[in-house]
Structure 1
Amino acid sequence: MPGTVYLVGSGPGDPELLTVKAKRLLDESDVVLHDKLPGPAILEEIPESKREDVGKRAGGERTSQSEINERMVELAEDGNDVVRLKGGDPFVFGRGGEEMQYLAAHGVPFEVVPGVTSAVAAPAAADIPVTHRDHASSVSFVTGHEDPTKPESAVDWEALADTGGTIVVLMGVGRLPDYTRELRDAGVDPETPVALVEKGTRPGQRVATGTLDTIVDVRDEAGIEPPAVTVVGGVAGLWEDVEAGR
């Protein structure tokens, strides 16, 4: 009998934000195929003998998606129960949907285990609510790292500008100059507050704030690096007030 592949979200990095089910499956599984995004504290709790690093980096793949897909099927067909461990939630810019389709097409039993997405958790850990009665009645999640083979971006920044509310960009530190310019060109006020949350929920968490006009310089001066989440909108301006009152 084939084993089962569990597409598991590891949350934003803090091991205490793993779901109870995710922790149980990590303990009970035969093999864990993990990305780079699960926090080091989570990975260190998994016996090295059953860990396989299939992480990818911006600018080049260490393990191609096709290889990951084939490895999941191979391991399951050998009778192993496999945890495919992903950062955040497997279905929020994590390619979990593609992996699910591949497993289904090859007749491999699978189950999706949701995780706490960093799109909400990282700002929350930095005292930034993504919605607020006075500032944002809606929130849009955007990837800053689209498929590089696409002829053009699928993100409609003008529509996002018209929608208003909070915009949260994941994996977008490198492209910060591009989409801040797109938003300004779309008519968003250059003085709109922006916050960058680096390593949200993890040791070394940092926050840098500015405006749509200044945030690129702020990023450079602070040395903000991935993993980081960008929050655009009035809620980002609450951070300094809240911190001042602590």
Structure 2
Amino acid sequence: MRNIIYELMNHIDFQLKIKNQKFDWFVSLRKSVYYSLIVHLVCVIIIQLLLGIDFSESARIRIKKIKQFAVELKELEESKPQVTIEGLSKRDTTTNKLEKVIFAGIEIDTTSIINRYEENTLNVSILFPVGWIYFDNQVKNIIDGIIFIPGENSNYDRRLSVLIQVNTQKNLFNSGLYDSSFTFNRVEYYISKPQKIFEQVTQTVYIRTGSFKADFIIKLTSPNEIEFKKFQSTFFAMVRSFSAGY
């Protein structure tokens, strides 16, 4: 009898627990529904408020500012001074010329002397014009002379020539044969006046090298005075470019 009563009490207690759990679940479900309804209601209210705002005024303000900026930019462009040729100063329009190179009192022309002659017995080196050719000669395995003449494609008269002579008898030098002298790169240059014999014009430069074993004579020969004047500035550019082992 006691066992029956105990089982009955357990059954009643189990049923009560089930009812309590069902009640708690129902309460939780009801709260969730309430919260969901409230959230949806708030969202609907916010959306309605946003849809009710008039953005046209702010858009008009932005458009007005853009137009105002465009007008100010145009005024700024128009206010810039227009630079014209008439407005430039003489200093602005002057083209800088290449610096003049003066040698032996003459403005020399180095633009055409782009070829180089070199030899190793006396370490002679000299620049000569494009389109020219040369012939050299040695005596006892030492350079004795070089002659430069215009080639077939040269723009100069082919009767022009530049002769370089090697003078090993330095004691025979006579400065009285030359009109002027100067020193350049520690070497003495003696220059004669142009000499005209019939139509032919010649000019000679003597280079004294000090203690070096040889002096050098560079002589220009021209068929006439016109060709001489035409080539003289290039001739002295060749003389200036000359060097040897001194």
Q: Same fold (TM over 0.5)?
A: no
Q: Larger RCO: Structure 1 or Structure 2 (Cα < 8 Å, ≥ 6 residues apart)?
A: 1
Rg larger in structure: 2
Superposition TM-score, scaled by structure 2 size: 0.21
Greater helix share, structure number: 2
